[in-house]
Amino acid sequence: MADAERRRVLFVEDEQALQISYQRFFRPRFEMSFAGTGGEALAQLESDAPDVLVLDMRLPDTDGIELLRKIRALHPDLPVIITTEIGRAHV
């Protein structure tokens, strides 16, 4: 699929390891951009809305639910996939 035809996905994820995993899996299929904070995500959405947004609920600067409310106010029809690591064991 040509770059002009690929869907654009914005990943709002602060964990670098997950960003790398997303890149490895999705890069061949999608045009990708990343935001590590809610503020970065809102700035990117103001300049160029993606086709889909993947939103981590745990971000360093904001609560994911509050960020989702702001995103919905700006882009009510934007598909959002919510991810979280709540309850993940750290060893």
Q: Is residue 4, in this structure, part of any structural domain at all? A: no
Q: Is residue 1, in this structure, part of any structural domain at all? A: no
- pLDDT tens string 9-30: 999 999 999 999 999 999 889 9
| Entry pTM | 0.86
The tokens for 70 are 């702001």
Q: Residue with structure tokens 């996939």?
A: 81
Closest CA to 56 of 44, 66, 65, 64: 64
Q: At residue 32, what are phi and psi to the nearest 5 degrees?
A: -120, 145
Cα three-residue angle 10-19-54, rounded to 5 degrees: 35
Q: Is residue 3, in this structure, part of any structural domain at all? A: no
Q: Is residue 67, in this structure, part of any structural domain at all? A: yes
Supply the CATH number for residue 69's domain.
3.40.50.2300
- Give the chain's domain count: 1
Q: Is residue 18, in this structure, part of any structural domain at all? A: yes
The range of the structural domain enclosing residue 48 comes to 13-83
Return the pLDDT at 84. 86
Return the pLDDT at 91. 43
Question: Could you give the CA distance from residue 22 to residue 8 in angstroms, rounded to a whole number?
Answer: 13
